Amino acid sequence: MHDLVAATGLLSEGEFPGSFKLPGTNTSLGFHGYAKLDIIHDLNAFQGDSVSFPGIPLDGTAAARRQGATRLHARQSRFNIETRTPTEYGTLRTLIEGDFFGAGGTEFTSNSSAFRIRHAYGELGPVLGGQTWSNFMDPQSSPESIDFNGPPGQIFIRQGQLRYTQPLFISSRLSFAVENPEGDFFARGNAGNPPATGAAAIGSPSNAFNQVPDFTAQFLTNRPWGHVAFSALARQIQANAHAKDFGYGLSLAWKVNTFGKDQVYGQANGGTGIGRYLNDGVGSGAAFNGTNLLNSQTAIGAFAAYQHWWTETVRSTVFYGGDVFDNDTAIVGLTNNRSIRGIHANIIWSPVPETNIGLEFIHGQRVTDAGLHGEFSRFQAGFQFGF
């Protein structure tokens, strides 16, 4: 971008890296993103374009007996547009970003996966409005992964919100947000049928009983040794006029410098009704009997990671995480996951800036409330070229 600005002689350099000034304005505009190829080989049945720990085939099923599946795709490729404009109220910043993990295209011909919104928000001074990472989440504590989803046990969610951030002492801040409500619950069918799946299990966007927004708060401090974030969540989950319950969650996240450029990452998360905020926890927010009883359910998730730099351009990250769900089996039966575990180990090389080439091994397992087990293993290579 800097070379383009210099070559044209018509544009001046902007206020942030890779940006330029729009002629006749004080607005800096930047275009960024990357193209990425993922090469995936599952030693068992194919687990999708990103790892799905909750859907690992259970021992004894036809899917669990499959031996090997290979897939190449570029769906993680992304593009964003950012602007920054100085005003009397502070910097006005906007960001719109998307990738191609929307609806999938046919693999027989063009693989035309649909573009989808990741982030679309504006900030003016302390106020943010739009869609981005939840205020209950700490993106800085997420470890580097070739797999798109990363470790189980983490808080991982983007959604619409209105947020206010108050700077505090020594690189610290306190933020509050009202966020999009979407009640998620496992639902038992009529006449004692097994738990429903899909939309019936987690509610639907047209659910008329998402009446109250979710509320989040976060305290974060950045220090020379790293940073720590403590977050809180309060939400209502409601299935109908008679069936509703209150949910809450707490999260502690950290990133700590160790030796040289090495770092330790981690999160510890839990609550009653935390549900969809927990990676791989969608649907676990509550148990619904299908008529008039809905009870929020407890879930706990955590992970730990270590990143080591072998050279200035080569590093490895190893992380292990998991979720534990306390499902109300008297209401929803024994088919849901009781626990999920996963480990990632990778090595990534950046031969030039904005380029990452790496290989990752992933192993996961899940156990249902009935005691059924499933395991899988994956090798994934990534070739990411940024601009």
**pLDDT for res 290:** 86
Whole-angstrom Cα distance, residue 81 to residue 304?
33
**How does 306-345 read in b/e, with b if 16+ C-beta sit within 10 Å?**
bbbeeeeeebbbebbbbbbbebbeebbbebbbbebbbbbe
Is residue 38 within 8 Å of residue 72, measured between CB atoms?
Answer: yes
Residue 209 is predicted with a pLDDT of: 83
Closest-CA residue to 36 (of 387, 311, 382, 287)? 382
φ and ψ at 202, to 5 degrees? Answer: -125, 15
Task: State the pLDDT at residue 208.
Answer: 53
Q: What are the extents of the domains in the chain? A: 37-74+133-386
Q: Which pLDDT value is given to residue 380?
A: 98
Token couple for 319? 């992380």
Is the pTM value of this prediction over 0.95?
no
CATH class, domain 37-74+133-386, is mainly beta
For the chain (387 residues), the mean pLDDT of every run of 10, in chain order, is 52 88 92 97 92 93 91 96 95 97 77 91 97 97 95 96 94 97 79 36 55 96 96 95 93 97 97 95 92 94 98 98 96 94 98 97 97 96 97
What is the total residue count of the chain?
387
Q: Which residue has the tokens 């031996």?
A: 67
